[in-house]
Amino acid sequence: MAWIQLFGALRLFAWACCCGYVIPWAMLNAASSRRLRSSTINPHPTMSTFDKLFAKGKAKVKEFTDSRPSHQQGQPGQGYPGQQPTQGYPPPGQPQYSGAQYPPQQYPPNQYQQGPPPGQQWGAPQQQWGQPPAQQQWGPPPPQQQSYGPPPVPQASKPQSPHPQAQGPPPVPQNRPGSAQPPPPQNIPPPQGERVYWKPSFDRATPVSHNFRHEIGDHGWGNNEKQMYTDNPANSFHHDNRLIVRGLVEGGSYTSARLTTNQTLQRPRGYLTATILAPVAEGIWPAYWLLPKDPFQWPNDGEVDIFESWNGDCVNHSCLHWGQYNGEDHDKHRVAETPLHDMPRQPHTFGFAWIEEDGIPNWRGRMIWYIDGRPVMKGNIPLGTRRMEEYRILINIAMGGNVCQGKLPKDGYYDMVVSDLKMCEEPQGGWHLFEQAWNSTPEGKTM
């Protein structure tokens, strides 16, 4: 037993030395002498002395360890970035918040706060009421992610003393980003396209002469044509809200109608359109075109052909004419040919847009021809021609002559059916589509 006690004392001495503390030799020698002088040891006094010595050793060890800074508990030690312990909230030096106040960054009732004010730090521990971590911040969901409402408030972390005006978590603000529809735009512009400023009536009760002037004559019209233009109702009339121009061939007699509108284009810019079912046959030349009002010089003052086809070729010839037919002016006649294979049975819509652009030296403006809404030809308004406001619409059926290469139609009648004739403020889609079409539409080729 004595050897065991001596071994324990030596082990205690070694432990104390490792901690930087040396037990006085006198105390250890006295304790060892008392244990060796007695062969019969009373365990109670001896254990009491050892306990006192052990208690003193523990006290010295505690005093020594408490004096070492690296062994202090509860204080964040300096480390590398990202290795610091979690910072308590609020950090040292910042005021504490009582339970009667909302914690920092918390939404007070009926108020929405976009984010932490400058200089404020997040960092409330999860066990304490405060602003949720940044990755759980309530706000609009990221793209392609569905939102099911704000995150639930942890039940174990509610403040013990809630705000006197709220008995639960703050209400979700109704004006959070993304929750409200934007206000309707003010001063909405009217829909772009058309805005009709002239449209004749083709009602049967309305005489053709109400909107058109009949041109009369059989003098060949500059092309050795065979027809006689008349104002006879058999050659021009209204039916089923359509205008009918009829060419009649009877035993060598050729009669037809040539109609010129009383209305001019009247605008420095605009859009003209009509839907036409054309006659298709040899010797027949239907046309829908523009000439300046009288008096004018042809072709110096200009001519615009929106639709014309001859000899049943099922091709539309969009044309622009000015100048004279001579070598010097050979480039002053432009044409674009558009095949329309279903012309005998299918009506088509032919449009023409113009815009006079004043104030630019050596420049007049621009024009675009359309078929069924598709631009097919563009051209500059030629210098020296009449202003577009002064042009009138012509609708007629010619027969034979130079253009038809001397071919004549057979006996019968040939109807040109016109509907939805109108003048508009702008083309379909507006002038911005006109600008787009201008960049992609080809010019007519030289005749």
Domain count, the chain: 1
- Residue in this structure with the two tokens 């793209």, named with its chain if needed: 143
Query: Is 340 part of a structural domain of the chain?
Result: yes
CATH classification of the domain holding 406: 2.60.120.200
The 3-class secondary structure across the chain, one letter per residue, is CHHHHHHHHHHHHHHHHHCCCCCCHHHHHHHHHHHHHCCCCCHHHHHHHHHHHHHHHHHHHHHHHHCCHHHCCCCCCCCCCCCCCCCCCCCCCCCCCCCCCCCCCCCCCCCCCCCCCCCCCCCCCCCCCCCCCHHHCCCCCCCCCCCCCCCCCCHHHCCCCCCCCCCCCCCCCCCCCCCCCCCCCCCCCCCCCEEEEECCCCCCCCCHHHCEEECCECCCCCCCCCCEECCCCCCEEEECCEEEEEEEEECCEEEECEEEEEEECCCCEEEEEEEEECCCCCCEEEEEEEEECCCCCCCCCCEEEEEECCCCCCEEEEEEECCCCCCCCCCCEEEEEEECCCCCCCCEEEEEEEEECCCCCCCCEEEEEEECCEEEEEEECCCCCCCHHHEEEEEEEEECCCCCCCCCCCCEEEEEEEEEEEEEEECCCCHHHHHHHHHHCCECEEC
Q: Is residue 373 part of a domain?
A: yes
For residue 186, is it within any domain?
A: no
Query: Does 18 fall in a domain?
Result: no
Q: How far apart are CA 320 and CA 332, in angstroms?
A: 8
Identify whether 14 is part of a domain.
Answer: no
Q: Tokens in use for 226?
A: 């065979």
Looking at the domain assignment, is residue 45 inside a domain? no
262 within some domain: yes
* Structural domain contains residue 377: yes
Domain containing residue 325: 212-446
**Residuewise pLDDT in 10s, the chain (447 residues):** 555 555 565 666 555 555 444 444 444 444 444 444 444 444 554 455 666 766 777 777 677 656 655 444 444 444 333 344 444 444 445 444 444 443 444 444 444 344 444 444 444 444 444 454 444 444 444 444 444 444 444 444 444 444 444 455 555 445 444 444 455 545 545 555 679 999 999 999 999 999 999 999 999 999 999 999 999 999 999 999 999 999 999 999 999 999 999 999 999 999 999 999 999 999 999 999 999 999 988 888 999 999 999 999 999 999 999 977 666 666 788 999 999 999 999 999 999 999 999 989 999 999 999 999 999 999 999 999 999 999 999 999 999 999 999 999 999 999 999 999 999 999 999 999 999 999 999 999 987
Q: How many angstroms separate the CA atoms of 418 and 241, rounded? A: 9
